[in-house]
Structure 1
Amino acid sequence: MPGFTLPRTVRTTRITRAHKISAAVVASASCAAALALTAAPSNAETTAAHAPAAVKPVSANGLPLTAKDRADDGKKDQQLASSLTTGLKVTAVAKQGHAAKQAADRSADRKVIAAPKAAAPKAAPKAAPKAAPKASPKRYANNLDGWIRESLDIMKSKRIPGSYEGLHRNIMRESSGNPNAVNDWDINAINGIPSKGLLQVIQPTFNTYHVSGTPHKLTDPVANITAAANYAAHRYGSIDNVNSAY
């Protein structure tokens, strides 16, 4: 026809096997998408009959998966499942540990609330005061000075008045300091009860005014002095008031 010219040659392009496979994969995917959109139901009641046809999986380069690829994918799936399971277990254990800790804390709180107040520590018992060591017995010289001093200590404990000077003065007048002196000439001697000892005491008077704690012997120096001082205190107020025979 006039006005149109056909190309003299048409260049033939060679399609390789890889091109064919890629084109087939793209066409299959496009068909599957179109079928999925067409077959999708208009409501929620989707049944298995309307499900799109399964598409065979392909690898990243567009080729069908080999047995090795599927095995590797299975291992990855197992690893992923194992990781998920381990994560779930760890989470469950952590939750159990947290719950156990909370329960322990609540139990400890209840124990603290219920526990009675600790009793105040008992004070250590006071040690009994040590008894004062007993004073060793006072020693007196075995002579006139010692006899007078011992008699004065006994008289003080018995509340019998008298002084060292009053005792010593009357002793020297009555016996000159001889504890065994005996008057065998006065009325007492005539009556059979002579005066004896440092202060010349007769036996009946000694028996009446004997001071407990001293020997019950008329010629004992201390017993004779304290008995005579006791008698003088009752009759004269004190041995210090006696200046002659009494």
Structure 2
Amino acid sequence: MSQPDNTLRIAMVEDHPVVVEGLRRILAQEMPHAALLEFNTGETFLQHLREAQHLVTLALLDITLPDTNGVELCQKAKNLSPDTCVLGFSNHNDRALIMQMLSSGASGYLLKNVGAPELMQCVREALNGQMAFSDEVKKIIARPSAAHVKAVPPLTKREKQILRMIADGKTSADIAAELLVSPFTIETHRRNLMQKFDVNNAAALIRLAAQLQLI
């Protein structure tokens, strides 16, 4: 369970006054006894973490600040105060950036277009020790990355079959005899596979296929 409101210290690390005002209004209404802290640069937030006698319970962290970016700031903040829960709070909906924030120690990520109910749901989930994402971010994370989509070429059923047989160390003649086709047909499939995976030899083909968990 999360701690009582009167012990919560929530930091808003955001350089747009209108956003801070909106956050303050929502948080003050929903958590009237929580201490709300405002920082418009990353360094002032870090300085507070270095000097404060009381733990910052949760920080809503903008990704683009005048003096730093959210990924670096999250790393530094977690190093200074590992128990502070950090939520990315941004207009940036790039999947790679979201994943970088999570790798840096963030406990979730929200887009700034969230409504008050969704914002508070994410805050409470984070305070309860859960990973917290706005609904739109959940959809972004669920999509495969562009790099992964590009790395996994579409293969026919026969190409997958031949790929597994190549990985088993079988020669083109072996595969041709087993599949009752000509060696030339198998060689054509080999060339097509190497072209699709953008590799120059069978060893590289097998290695990449293994990395992508296709064999």
TM over 0.5: no
Instruction: Return the structure number with greater relative CO, CA threshold 8 A, min gap 6.
Output: 2
Q: TM-score w.r.t. structure 2 length? A: 0.21
Structure 1 or 2: larger strand share?
Answer: 2
Q: TM-score w.r.t. structure 1 length? A: 0.19
